[in-house]
A = this chain, B = another copy of it.
Amino acid sequence: MKPKPIGPIPPGYHALGGELAIGGRTASDLVAEAGGTPLFVYSRALIDARIADLRAALPQRIGINYAIKANPHADVIRHMEGLVDGFDIASGGELALATKAGLDPARISFAGPGKRDDELEAAIAAGVTLNCESEGEGRRAIAIGQRLSIAPRIAIRVNPDFELKGSGMKMGGGAKPFGVDADKVSDLARFLMGEGVTWRGLHIFTGSQALSADAIIEAQNNVLNLADELSNEIGEALPKLNMGGGFGVPYFPGDEPVDLNAIGEALHGRMADLPDSLAKTDLCLELGRYLVGEAGVYLCRVIDRKESHGMTYLVTDGGLHHQLAASGNFGTVVRRNYPIAIANRYDTGPEEVVNVVGCLCTPLDRLADKAEMPRGQVGDIVAVFCAGAYGATASPSAFLGHGPAAEVLV
């Protein structure tokens, strides 16, 4: 049986007494304390390390925003509060989470192509910056601001004519439902300012989940050039520029981590040579997956070990209802294996080739195909890595009635 490769286990995970340890605690201890599997474990130390690496590589004047949608767990949001410079939200629900976590609304911006009136109102009342996605949305925000007697804080989200090459999801280049086409931005900006909104600048997002530093550097250069052009067209310096993110994490065999130093060097070069229009602009990157994706592990337990037509299956109590992306069913064409391990025998080498599946009654529910693992037994704990972003909330947790997984930050 020829095994299929698995993705790279992220740095920072080690064995403790033979077991996978997260935040200095063994997987079985964490599971026992949580009351069982399935369980998402997020590591403070790994989040801290990732942000420290970013701070070391990036010019000091470039802020880091956390996109809450990547992982909106309350403890994660609160932990981020002291680590990042701003937050991005994508809905009224995320605004409520941000408010509950006590985040300063002046540090929050709100992007999303379909903001309802009640969401605009809550954001304007709170003093959150709207990343305006269309003229229609701008007009609705102005009307709501007038009713509330509050000048809305508005930036414009730009749909640029270029894209982030090699990104998992392209958010620019051609027709898009996101933002305002670049050639219409300056008219809209002048209109909004004429209506008395508090002008907050631009948000230019080009794509996500890119691993090539060259592609990211090119996109960042394009973003800075476009921001300069638009600022000149608008006739006003930009108070703020959200340069987007796009930094990916390695999920699959052969994926290499982003070369942070190369990106940092290129940005240092650009910062030394910024045009006047951006000289005093508050610059930031918006990152979600890159900050938390590799800091999370999904733990589930082997419920059954069975053979069918010569294949061995480890059936777990987890599955695509918690980790849809790992099953290969969320916007994926070809299924590949996420990094995976038997957590309670983390320092044991491969002993067999197995399929690891979830507990759902559907052939879609796969966690690993033909993976080389130590021999798995009923009761063993399976760890699926890269579960810190777009895991628990980006999966159909009500599917088949098993309910959501527990989550813990350690």
Residues of A within 8 A of B (CB): 68-69, 72, 89-94, 96-97, 111-116, 133-137, 159, 169-171, 174-178, 181, 303-311, 313, 315-317, 319, 324, 329-331, 333, 355, 357-364, 378, 392-404
Contact = CB atoms under 8 A, between A and B. Distances in A.
Contacts of A112: 359-361, 400
A395 B127 CA distance: 32
Contact of A324 (B135, B357, B396): B396
A177 B357 contact: yes
Q: Among the interface residues A135, A303, A360, A378, which one has the most CB atoms of the partner chain B within 10 A?
A: A303
A309 B93 contact: no
B397 A398 contact: yes
A93 B402 contact: yes
A361 B69 contact: yes
A304 B137 contact: yes
A304 B180 CA distance: 12
A72 B401 contact: yes
Contact of A177 (B93, B315, B393): B315
Q: Among the interface residues A364, A399, A401, which one has the most CB atoms of the partner chain B within 10 A?
A: A401
Contacts of A159: 308
Contacts of A359: 91, 112-116
A353 to B, nearest CB: 12
Contact of A329 (B94, B115, B304, B330): B330
A398 B364 CA distance: 20
A330 B329 CA distance: 5
A177 B364 CA distance: 11
A115 B317 CA distance: 8
Contact of A403 (B93, B304, B306): B93
Nearest to A324: B396
A68 B306 CA distance: 26
B114 A317 contact: yes
Given A169-B363, A392-B398, 8 more contacts: A91-B400, A111-B361, A114-B317, A134-B315, A136-B304, A159-B308, A177-B357, A393-B396
Nearest to A334: B333
Given A114-B359, A359-B113, A364 B331 contact: yes
Given A333-B333, A401-B93, A401-B94, A303 B115 contact: yes
A316 B394 CA distance: 19
Given A114-B359, A364-B331, A400-B90, A177 B313 contact: yes
A181 B324 CA distance: 27
A394 B401 contact: no
A177 B306 contact: yes
Contact of A91 (B176, B303, B378, B402): B402
A117 B279 CA distance: 64
Contact of A396 (B137, B357, B361, B395): B395
Given A181-B308, A309-B175, A330-B329, A91 B401 contact: yes
B402 A361 contact: no
Contacts of A309: 174-176, 181
A399 B310 CA distance: 38
B324 A361 contact: no
12 contacts: A69-B401, A94-B400, A97-B401, A112-B359, A113-B360, A114-B316, A116-B359, A133-B304, A174-B309, A175-B310, A333-B333, A393-B401
Contacts of A115: 303, 359
A67 to B, nearest CB: 9
